[in-house]
């Protein structure tokens, strides 16, 4: 056993009077009506004893574990409590899980983003479980009058072998709640795990398949009104005036008014991005009535001129210039080409100029990626009730803690008086980090002096901004006469943010290396999108390496392995941010599992590998083209995310990432015409559907005892390139521009 100094947010493990008192618990009781999981043995207890911020135990032995992080499909609501239960030594079938509200006193980092929940939560969650287990042991020692060291646990029980005494956790819970919290606490060895590493079903699955109210859109409160907004139809426009004479008297309509989500002088932090601050709000009794009134309002828009926005990026003050004008795709592409000539050097090793001058072969290719909409299946929405002494909010969001600060600043209400309940997210993928809709909901509620639920239509959602940036990258490789890679350059940028990771592979594996980046300003807002930056740069880099391997006459996997060997044995530079062994590990695994080198007849095959969010993934895509359609027969993927918590759920996530990645690479695209997105709903924006999905997906994990790392994102970026490389084998054409469907159709 290793001991862990208990210094991770110690408050979490103390007895928590605030929670026991019930204020915060009561605020999310609306969900308690749906039992989180079928109880196989125990019913609900009469009394609960809270051992710390994460754990309460009923007198009958039932254990409740609070899941601190918002759940949007990453399955943290199952996997995080599994980690707590492991160290507590609970019997999983007698565990129920509750979603914790936003509570910065008791929990750290209640975020979705960067696939970091498990990696960062790992020690805190384990310590929470181990501490509570210790309290139960102390209680048993006192009750039985035996030394604590002689007491052990088995799932759900404390026992003293010498005297044959045994009690379930519930019998010790009330006394345990009064025991002193230990300063240091031993954690289990991996070999002792009984829950972690074994597949457990999603604790919410039964509620999902029976249609229980789980999502923000399902949230209801007595007296609650429905609200919608109208935002400008194009980026570059703002509200001038509106005429609501036809809408005002429509049935069910309570009020129509103008709102401002952020004040002009507000200093925005990282996730306060919004495209449109001046909006028309419509409030009424029911969604349909509000939708109808919305259509009857005539709004006049006007172009805005260039203005400045104050920004505070984690303490770094910045003035950001937002250009006026209605943008078009062609001019954006041209601006990007111009900007790429004035790039800033992010990393330089050796002497790339000389290497390219003396190269026997130089390969240069440029890649493009379009804007993408997140398209969470649950359109943006939020509940807010602004009262004189408190604000209650509920709904789906990824960064509740930051949103709470923004709301506090906007309405001048202290953070202590803001209560945010986190509902399940109908998808997030980065979009729900930018919670301007929560602020809008609160501003509307304040004006109405009533609880309201703000609902975006799909069109509001898709045309409202916060897109995956538009990207461009140019790669250059120099090969000597022996086909060794002697020089490598990447010049990458985007509108509005660059996709470059200068210290990632193949940095470190090439003697002469240059990475440069640039940006183009725009009034189109962008934000994090599933595997930010990697979702483009992996595709470009891994497609390019495929082409370089071919030019060098080498097998694409061997070529990468050779470079990784060099990065391991003789690394160039000191800042390389990947582990060559783990990188090679996923390539080796996918090579053997896909039976690389023996492509089935009639099949075209491509490979790709990438490292991001602390995890490694490699994929082999097998496809054919049938009647002009891409038919993906099989995806074989190998993933190294350290120790696996919940294997089948991990597999599900990686399968989803592969499907989503293939869909986005083939079809995902949003263009701008005079500042307006050229598609507004799923009739225009093509999403992958059942017919286009890979027929088989095989997912393998590298066995590892390294602390667990991210999983929501790592399998997403590389599959774009595996697909492009397989398409090359099938068509003889390289795919440099996403989405690939455009090239396939010509």
Partner 1 sequence: MALFNLTINGKSQQVDVDPNTPMLWVLRDHLDLVGTKFGCGIAQCGACTIHLDGNAVRSCQLPVSAAEGAKITTIEGLSEEGDHPVQKAWLEHDVPQCGYCQAGQIMSAAALLAQNPNPSDTDIDNAMNGNICRCGTYTRIKAAIHTASKNL
Q: Residues interacting with ligand FES, by CB under 6 A?
A: 73, 377, 427
Taking CB under 8 A as the rule, which mask of x and - marks residues 281-300 in contact with partner 1? -----xxxx--x--------
User: 473, 697, 702, 711: which one contacts partner 1 (CB under 8 A)?
Assistant: 697
**Residue, CB closest to ligand FES:** 377
Least distance from partner 1 to the Cβ atom of residue 287, Å:
5
User: 89, 98, 272, 378: which one contacts partner 1 (CB under 8 A)?
Assistant: 378
| Interface size with partner 1, residues (CB under 8 A) | 65
Q: Between 361 and 689, whose beta carbon lies closer to partner 1?
A: 689
Q: Which residues of 68-93 are buried (b: 16+ CB within 10 A; e: fewer)?
A: bbbbbbbbbbbbbbbbbbbbbbbbbe
Taking contact as CB under 8 A, which single stretch among the options 135-143, 208-216, 440-448, 609-617 is the one that binds partner 1? 208-216
Least distance from partner 1 to the Cβ atom of residue 109, Å:
20
**Secondary structure percentages of the chain, helix, strand, coil, to 5:** 30, 25, 40
- Which partner in ligand FES, partner 1, none is near 218 (CB below 5 to 8 A by kind)? partner 1
Least distance from partner 1 to the Cβ atom of residue 96, Å:
17
Least distance from partner 1 to the Cβ atom of residue 718, Å:
15
CB neighbour class for 115 (10 Å; exposed up to 12, middle 13-18, buried from 19): buried
Least distance from ligand FES to the Cβ atom of residue 204, Å:
11
The full 3-state SS of 665-706, as one line of letters, equals HHHCCECEECCEECCCCCCCCCCCCHHHCCCEEEEEECCCCC
Token digits of residue 208? 């999902």
Sheet with strand 151-154: strands edge to edge: 151-154, 157-160, 165-168
User: 550, 558, 648, 674: which one contacts partner 1 (CB under 8 A)?
Assistant: 648
Least distance from partner 1 to the Cβ atom of residue 211, Å:
2
Taking CB under 8 A as the rule, which mask of x and - marks residues 551-590 in contact with partner 1? ----------------------------------------
Question: What is the Cα–Cα distance from 531 to 430, expressed in whole angstroms?
Answer: 9
Least distance from partner 1 to the Cβ atom of residue 541, Å:
23
Is residue 678 near partner 1 by the rule CB under 8 A?
A: no
The vertex-414 CA angle with 413 and 416, nearest 5°, equals 130
- Which partner in ligand FES, partner 1, none is near 91 (CB below 5 to 8 A by kind)? none
Question: What is the Cα–Cα distance from 428 to 451, expressed in whole angstroms?
Answer: 24
Token digits of residue 620? 């082999």
Pick out residues in 145-204 that bind partner 1 (CB under 8 A). 201-202, 204
Q: Between 181 and 687, whose beta carbon lies closer to partner 1?
A: 687
Is the N-terminal amide bond of 494 cis, ω within 30° of 0?
no
Numbers of helices and strands, H then E, in the chain:
19, 32
Is residue 27 near partner 1 by the rule CB under 8 A?
A: no
Which of 552, 541, 196 minimizes the C-alpha distance to 361?
Answer: 552
Q: Between 233 and 427, whose beta carbon lies closer to ligand FES?
A: 427
User: 249, 251, 597, 600: which one contacts partner 1 (CB under 8 A)?
Assistant: 251
Is residue 693 near partner 1 by the rule CB under 8 A?
A: yes
Q: Between 289 and 329, whose beta carbon lies closer to ligand FES?
A: 289
- Which partner in ligand FES, partner 1, none is near 206 (CB below 5 to 8 A by kind)? partner 1
Close Cβ partners of 43 (under 8 Å, ≥ 6 residues apart)? 60, 62
Q: Between 215 and 611, whose beta carbon lies closer to partner 1?
A: 215
As a whole number of Å, the CA-based R_g of the chain is 27
Least distance from ligand FES to the Cβ atom of residue 457, Å:
10
Question: What is the Cα–Cα distance from 589 to 607, expressed in whole angstroms?
Answer: 12
Q: Where are the alpha helices (DSSP H) in 598-684?
A: 647-667
Token digits of residue 589? 């695994």
Is residue 656 near partner 1 by the rule CB under 8 A?
A: yes
> Tokens 């109210």, residue?
213
Between the CA of residue 341 and those of 29, 60, 321, 519, what are the distances in Å?
Answer: 57, 70, 21, 11
- Contacts with partner 1, residue ranges (CB under 8 A): 72-75, 201-202, 204-206, 208-215, 217-218, 220, 226, 251, 286-289, 292, 375-379, 424-429, 455, 457-458, 648-649, 652-653, 655-660, 663, 681-683, 687-691, 693-697
């Amino acid at each position: 056993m290793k001991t862990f100094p208990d210094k991770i947010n110690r408050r979490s493990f103390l007895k928590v009077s605030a929670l026991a008192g019930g204020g915060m618990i009561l605020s999310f009781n609306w969900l308690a009506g749906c039992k989180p999981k079928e109880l196989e043995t125990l019913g609900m207890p009469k009394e609960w004893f809270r051992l710390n911020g994460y754990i309460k135990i009923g007198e009958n032995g039932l254990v409740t574990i609070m899941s601190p992080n918002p759940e949007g499909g990453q399955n943290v609501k199952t996997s995080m409590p599994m980690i707590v239960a492991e160290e507590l030594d609970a019997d999983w079938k007698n565990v129920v899980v509750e979603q914790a509200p936003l509570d910065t006193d008791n929990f750290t980092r209640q975020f979705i983003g960067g696939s970091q929940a498990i990696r960062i939560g790992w020690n805190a969650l384990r310590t929470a479980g181990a501490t509570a287990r210790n309290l139960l042991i102390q209680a048993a020692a006192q009750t039985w009058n035996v030394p604590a060291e002689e007491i052990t646990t088995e799932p759900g029980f404390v026992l003293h072998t010498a005297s044959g005494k045994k009690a379930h956790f519930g019998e010790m819970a009330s006394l345990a709640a009064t025991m002193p919290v230990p300063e240091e606490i031993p954690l289990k060895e991996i070999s002792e795990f009984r829950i972690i590493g074994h597949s457990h079903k999603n604790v919410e699955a039964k509620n999902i398949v029976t249609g229980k109210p789980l999502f923000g859109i399902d949230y209801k409160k007595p007296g609650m009104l429905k609200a919608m907004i109208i935002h400008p139809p194009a980026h570059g426009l703002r509200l001038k005036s509106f005429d609501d004479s036809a809408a005002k008297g429509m049935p069910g309509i309570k009020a129509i008014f103008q709102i401002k989500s952020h004040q002009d002088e507000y200093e925005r932090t990282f996730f306060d991005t919004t495209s449109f601050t001046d909006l028309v709000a419509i409030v009424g009794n029911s969604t349909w009535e509000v939708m109808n009134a919305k259509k009857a309002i005539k709004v006049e828009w006007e172009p805005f001129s260039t203005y400045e926005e104050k920004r505070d990026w984690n303490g770094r003050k910045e003035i950001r210039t937002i250009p006026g004008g209605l943008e078009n795709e062609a001019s954006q592409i041209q601006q990007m080409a111009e900007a790429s000539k004035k790039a800033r050097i992010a990393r330089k090793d050796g002497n790339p100029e000389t290497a390219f001058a003396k190269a026997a072969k130089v390969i240069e290719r440029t890649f493009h990626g379009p804007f993408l909409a997140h398209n969470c299946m649950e359109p943006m929405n939020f509940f807010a009730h602004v009262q004189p002494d408190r604000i209650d909010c509920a709904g789906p969001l990824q960064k509740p803690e930051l949103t709470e600060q923004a709301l506090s600043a906007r309405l001048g209400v202290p953070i202590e008086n803001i209560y945010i309940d986190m509902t399940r997210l109908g998808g997030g993928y980065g979009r729900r980090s930018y919670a301007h809709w929560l602020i809008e909901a609160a501003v509307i509620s304040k004006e109405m002096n009533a609880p309201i639920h703000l609902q975006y239509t799909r069109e509001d959602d898709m045309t409202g901004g916060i897109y995956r940036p538009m990207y461009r990258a140019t790669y250059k490789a120099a090969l000597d006469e022996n086909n060794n890679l002697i020089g490598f350059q990447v010049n990458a940028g985007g509108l509005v943010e660059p996709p470059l990771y200068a210290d990632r592979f193949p940095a470190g594996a090439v003697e002469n290396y240059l990475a440069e980046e640039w940006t183009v300003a725009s009034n189109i807002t962008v934000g994090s999108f599933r595997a930010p930056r990697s979702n483009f740069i992996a595709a470009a880099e891994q497609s390019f390496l495929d082409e370089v391997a071919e030019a060098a006459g080498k097998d694409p996997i061997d070529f990468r392995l050779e470079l990784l060997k060099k990065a391991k044995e003789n690394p160039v530079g000191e800042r390389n941010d990947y582990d060559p062994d783990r990188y090679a590990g996923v390539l080796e695994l996918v090579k053997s599992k896909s039976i690389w080198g023996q492509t089935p007849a009639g099949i075209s095959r491509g490979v790709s590998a990438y490292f991001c969010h602390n995890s490694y993934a490699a994929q082999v895509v097998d496809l054919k083209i049938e009647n002009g359609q891409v038919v993906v027969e099989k995806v074989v993927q190998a993933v190294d995310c350290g120790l696996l918590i919940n294997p089948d759920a991990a597999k599900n996530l990686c399968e989803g990432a592969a499907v989503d990645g293939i869909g986005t690479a083939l079809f995902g695209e949003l263009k701008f015409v005079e500042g307006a997105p050229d598609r507004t709903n799923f009739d225009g924006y093509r999403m992958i559907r059942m017919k286009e999905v890979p027929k088989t997906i095989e997912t393998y994990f590298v066995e590892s005892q390294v602390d667990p790392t991210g999983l929501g994102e790592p399998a997403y970026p590389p599959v774009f390139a595996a697909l492009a490389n397989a398409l090359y084998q099938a068509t003889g054409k390289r795919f440099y521009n996403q989405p690939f469907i455009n090239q396939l159709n010509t």
